[in-house]
């Protein structure tokens, strides 16, 4: 809209919003059909690495300079790949989405070793709505390249999966274009990680150029691979980061060449950080020594198993008849063992963001946290502690500074030169939703205000005058009071600051009326409908409240 707005014209604009949208929900969820949001996940890229000037990452530095960068992004527990990619698309932690491994935990009958199965349907694995589900349901188009916990998702329009199918649409387009051969796709897994990252990037470029999705989720693996093998911040790690920077540049070039960049937002994230390791601990060896686990001729049998998640491990008691007794015994055996920093029981799980066994068949009975320099292993034979010559891992508790991830946003809707403080990866999904003009309810995070506020101002420049005039009221006296509507929001934003009572039956409405009265006293011809039209375009947390009122 043009800048030279008269008072009359912006009043008209508000009136139009009010009358054109009987359910004001439509006014605040102005869907961005022309928008493209590209999320690129650089697996295992630690936040602390960005502080090192030796990193060969000119593209990432440019995006951070021209957009927004967070000091760090907190992952969820366990700090491994699938749980965190799932948190970034659902906005909830593992206690709700229930993805605890890089796959689905399945437990054989009779005490056999539990297995992790990656190729299980997303519907079976992910217990929360995702941003791509919501975008798809709203009529937007979605795409994924090498994203995880997404197998057979019905709400993805175009895809090039982790294991490509030579008969798939995008795969056929790439074969026809000479980018890759059918034979190379058939033997995809046998190639190098760096080559796979290259082909995945070519696939993302193909999807952006030919199909122009509203949302593309894209995941690159080579840095994680390298950091595991050679350790983070090793010479190999720097080279992998340079390679990733080139992949990001390739996507940026596609956006610019195709003109998509005019209305595209690029979000660069990682799923977790990394630590160097020196020792491996093998808790199943202790279980074997205590007679809880035995190796049979064909397979192992046990009353309990420990599964490694790198810097943490999860313990499953597989003998239901002795569960209480065994949990106590395991706690005793493992507490104080070399390299075990702490043993967490089910009572600690809500605080860790993990599901409890009563609510999820994925939930363990105990969680072990390793001390720095140690990592867990699954082996049940040999020594309890072994040495690691060189290498790294993740999976340590999400409060560990070295596990923090990266977040950089650039392009349409992103203000220039913004330094965000420490954010949570639960904020990623609601922020994508806001950029697409969608809304995610019942999430643990919230849209990042410094980004969303800017976006809303852009939405209607005529309303900037209104915003300036009313903002102090909304921020300082009313906003938080209105946010008291849900327990989740109260946790996010602190104690309500409104001087007026907020009733249980009509949450927030008292405050809505108070804002309205102030508006009228200052000569603004407002009514309750105006509130719905005006406030959704103004300030993020008011938007939340107004939606609750409507429901
Ligand atoms: Zn990862
Ligand atoms: Zn990894």
Q: pLDDT tens digits, residue range 430-461?
A: 999 999 999 898 899 999 988 876 555 444 44
Residue 31 binned pLDDT confidence (cut-offs 50, 70, 90) = confident
* Mean pLDDT for the stretch of residues 502-516: 41
What spacing in Å lies between the alpha carbon of 103 and ligand 1's midpoint?
A: 13
Report the separation in Å between the CA atom of 230 and the middle of ligand 2, taken as the mean of its atom positions: 12
Question: In whole numbers, what is the pLDDT of the chain averaged over residues?
Answer: 81
Per-residue pLDDT, 302: 85
Residue 29 confidence (pLDDT): 52
Contact (CB, 8 A) for 16 and 460: no
Please tell me the number of the ligand nearest to residue 75's CA: 1
Nearest to 441 by CA among 338, 334, 543: 543
Neighbours of ion ligand 1 (CB under 5 A): 43-44, 81, 224, 271
Same domain for 184 and 206? Answer: yes
The verdict on 147 and 266 lying in the same domain is yes
Using the mean position of ligand 1's atoms as its centre, give its distance from the Cα of residue 350 in Å: 23
Q: How far is 262 from 169, CA to CA, in rounded Å?
A: 27
Do residues 498 and 381 share a domain?
Answer: no
Within a domain: residue 454?
A: no
Interval 467-485 mean pLDDT: 31
**Ligand 1 centre and the CA of 205: distance in Å?**
22
Spacing, Cα 338 to ligand 2 middle (Å): 23
User: Residue 313 Cα, ligand 2 centroid: separation in angstroms?
Assistant: 14
For ligand 2, the distance from its centroid to the CA atom of residue 233, given in whole angstroms, is 15
Taking 80 as the threshold, does the pLDDT of residue 463 lie above it? no
Confidence tier at 547 by pLDDT (50, 70, 90): very low
Domain check: are 378 and 466 in the same one? no
Are 265 and 285 within one domain? no
Q: Which residues pair with 344 in a beta bridge?
A: 367
397 or 491, which is more confident: 397
Centre of ligand 1 to C-alpha 101, Å, is 11
- Output the CA 270–ligand 1 centroid distance in Å: 8
Residues 271 and 132 in one domain: yes
358 and 219 share one domain:
no
- Could you say which ligand is closest to the alpha carbon of residue 86? 1
Residue 537 confidence (pLDDT) above 50: no
Q: Do 269 and 283 lie in a common domain?
A: no
DSSP string, 7-40: HHHHHHHHHHHHHH-SSTHHHH----TT-EEEEE
Which tokens is 444 given? Answer: 């643990």
Alpha-carbon distance 431 to 418, whole Å?
A: 15
Domain boundary among 352, 387, 422: 387
Q: How far is the CA of 224 from the centre of ligand 2 (A)?
A: 5
- The Å distance, Cα 101 to ligand 2 centre, comes to 11
Provide the pLDDT for residue 24. 27
Ligand having the closest approach to the CA of 224 = 2
- 315 and 258 in a common domain: no
Ligand 2 centre and the CA of 42: distance in Å? 11
Distance 398 CA to ligand 1 centre (A): 13
> How much is the pLDDT for 155?
98
* 105 occurs within a structural domain: no
Among residues 387, 414, 448, the one where a domain terminates is 387
536 found inside a domain: yes
What is the structure's pLDDT at 480? 28
Alpha carbon of 208 to ligand 2 centroid (Å): 27
Q: Give the distance (Å) from ligand 1 centre to CA of residue 165.
A: 23
Q: Per the omega criterion (within 30 degrees of 0), is the bond before 213 cis? A: no
Give the C-alpha distances (Å, rounded to integers) separating 472 from 179, 369, 475.
Answer: 55, 46, 5
Rounded distance between C-alpha atoms, residue 542 and residue 257, angstroms: 38
Share of the chain above pLDDT 70, in %: 76
Number of structural domains the chain divides into: 3
Q: Ligand 1 centre from 40 Cα, in Å?
A: 13
Answer with the residue of higher pLDDT: 481 or 411: 411
Ligand 2 centroid to residue 102 C-alpha, Å: 10
Q: What is the DSSP letter of 113?
A: P
Residue-range definition of the domain harbouring residue 15: 2-28+459-550
263 and 206, same domain (yes or no): yes
The single residue listed with the structure tokens 């004001």 is 24
Q: State the distance from the centre of ligand 1 to the C-alpha of 272, rounded, in angstroms.
A: 6
Assess if residue 175 is contained within a domain: yes
- What pLDDT is recorded for position 113? 82
Closest-approaching ligand to the CA atom of 46: 1
Distance of CA 128 to the CA centre of its chain: 12
Alpha helices (H) along 290-417: 323-334, 349-352
121 within some domain = no
Q: How far is the CA of 394 from the centre of ligand 2 (A)?
A: 6
Residues 231 and 166 in one domain: yes
Q: What is the pLDDT of residue 28?
A: 42
H-helix or E-strand spanning residue 204: helix 193-211
The ligand with the least distance to the CA atom of 85 is: 1
Structure tokens at 220: 């690159």
Residue 517 has a pLDDT of: 54
Confidence of residue 296 (pLDDT cuts 50, 70, 90): low
Cα of 228 from ligand 2 centre, angstroms: 6
State the distance from the centre of ligand 2 to the C-alpha of 368, rounded, in angstroms.
Answer: 18
Please tell me the distance between residue 334's alpha carbon and the centre of ligand 1 in angstroms: 27
CA–centroid distance, residue 227 to ligand 2 (Å): 8
Tell whether 311 is covered by a domain.
yes
Residue 35 to residue 208: CA distance in whole angstroms? 12
Rounded to whole angstroms, the Cα distance separating 434 from 457 reads 13
Which of 2-11, 375-384, 469-478 has the largest mean confidence? 375-384
Residue 535 carries which DSSP code?
A: G
Q: How do residues 389-433 score in pLDDT, each as one tens digit?
A: 999 999 999 999 999 999 999 999 898 889 999 999 999 999 999
Whole-number Å distance, alpha carbon 75 to ligand 2 midpoint, is 14
Name which residue leads in pLDDT, 223 or 112.
Answer: 223
Measured from the alpha carbon of residue 219, the closest ligand is: 1
Comparing C-alpha atoms, which of 323, 310, 318 is closest to residue 367?
Answer: 310
Distance 39 CA to ligand 1 centre (A): 15
Average pLDDT over residues 379-383: 93
Ligand 1 centroid–CA 406 distance in Å is: 12
| Closest-approaching ligand to the CA atom of 309 | 2
| Cα 243 to middle of ligand 2, angstroms | 17
119 within domain boundaries: no
**Same domain, residue pair 150 and 253:** yes
Looking at the domain assignment, is residue 448 inside a domain? no
**What integer pLDDT is reported at residue 312 of this predicted model?**
98
Q: What pLDDT is recorded for position 449? A: 83
- CATH number of the domain within which 151 lies: 3.40.720.10
Is residue 379 within 8 A of residue 309, CB to CB? The reply is: no
Nearest to 409 by CA among 7, 54, 88: 88
Cα(405) to centroid of ligand 2, in Å?
Answer: 13
- Using alpha carbons only, how large is the chain's radius of gyration in Å? 25
Question: Does 255 score more than 60 pLDDT?
Answer: yes
- Banded model confidence at residue 521, pLDDT cuts 50, 70, 90: low
CA of 530 to the centre of ligand 1 (A): 46
């Amino acid at each position: 809209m043009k800048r030279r707005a008269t008072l009359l014209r912006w009043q008209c604009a508000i009136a139009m919003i009010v009358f054109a949208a009987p359910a004001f929900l439509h006014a605040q969820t102005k869907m961005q059909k022309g928008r493209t949001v590209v999320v690129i996940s650089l697996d295992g890229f630690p936040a602390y690495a960005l502080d090192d000037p030796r990193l060969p990452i000119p593209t990432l530095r440019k995006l951070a300079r021209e957009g927004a960068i967070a000091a760090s992004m907190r992952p969820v527990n366990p700090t491994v790949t699938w749980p965190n990619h799932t948190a970034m698309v659902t906005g909830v932690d593992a206690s709700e989405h229930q993805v605890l491994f890089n796959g689905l935990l399945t437990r054989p009958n009779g005490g056999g070793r539990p297995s992790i199965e990656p190729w299980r349907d997303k519907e079976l694995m992910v217990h929360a709505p995702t941003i791509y589900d919501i975008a798809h349901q709203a009529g937007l188009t979605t795409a994924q390249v090498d994203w995880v916990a997404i197998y057979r998702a019905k709400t993805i329009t175009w895809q090039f999966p982790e294991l490509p199918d030579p008969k798939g649409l995008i795969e056929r387009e790439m074969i026809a274009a000479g980018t890759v051969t059918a034979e190379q796709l058939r033997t995809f897994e046998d190639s190098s990680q760096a080559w796979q990252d290259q082909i995945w990037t070519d696939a993302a470029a193909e999807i952006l150029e030919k199909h122009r999705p509203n949302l593309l989720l894209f995941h690159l693996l080579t840095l994680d691979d390298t950091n595991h093998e050679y350790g983070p911040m090793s010479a190999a790690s720097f080279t992998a980061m340079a390679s990733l920077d080139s992949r990001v540049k390739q996507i940026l070039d596609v956006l610019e060449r195709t003109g998509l960049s005019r209305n595209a937002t690029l979000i660069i994230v990682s799923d977790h950080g990394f630590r160097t390791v020196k020792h491996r601990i093998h808790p199943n060896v202790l279980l074997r020594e205590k007679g809880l686990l035995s190796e049979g001729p064909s397979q192992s049998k046990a009353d309990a198993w420990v599964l490694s998640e790198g810097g943490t491990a999860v313990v499953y008691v597989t003998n239901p008849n002795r569960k209480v007794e065994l949990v106590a015994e395991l706690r005793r055996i493992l507490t104080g063992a070399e390299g075990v920093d702490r043993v967490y029981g089910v009572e600690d799980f809500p605080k860790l963001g993990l599901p409890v066994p009563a609510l999820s068949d994925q939930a363990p009975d105990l969680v072990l946290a390793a001390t720095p320099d140690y990592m867990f292993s699954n082996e049940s034979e040999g020594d309890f502690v072994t040495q690691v010559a060189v290498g790294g891992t993740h999976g340590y508790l999400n409060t560990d500074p070295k596990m923090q991830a990266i977040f950089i946003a650039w392009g349409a809707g992103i203000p220039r030169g913004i330094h965000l403080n420490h954010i949570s990866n639960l904020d990623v999904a609601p922020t994508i939703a806001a950029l697409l003009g969608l809304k995610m309810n019942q999430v643990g995070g919230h849209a990042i205000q410094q980004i969303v506020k800017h976006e809303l101002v852009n939405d209607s420049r005529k309303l900037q005058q209104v915003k300036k005039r009313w903002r102090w009221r909304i921020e300082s006296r009313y906003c938080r009071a209105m946010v008291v509507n849900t327990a989740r929001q109260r946790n996010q934003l602190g104690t309500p600051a409104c001087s007026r009572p907020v009733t249980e039956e009509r949450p927030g409405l008292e405050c809505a009326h108070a804002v309205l009265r102030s508006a009228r006293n200052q000569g603004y011809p407002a009514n309750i409908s105006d509130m719905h039209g005006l406030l959704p375009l103004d300030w993020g947390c008011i938007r939340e409240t107004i939606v609750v009122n409507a429901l």
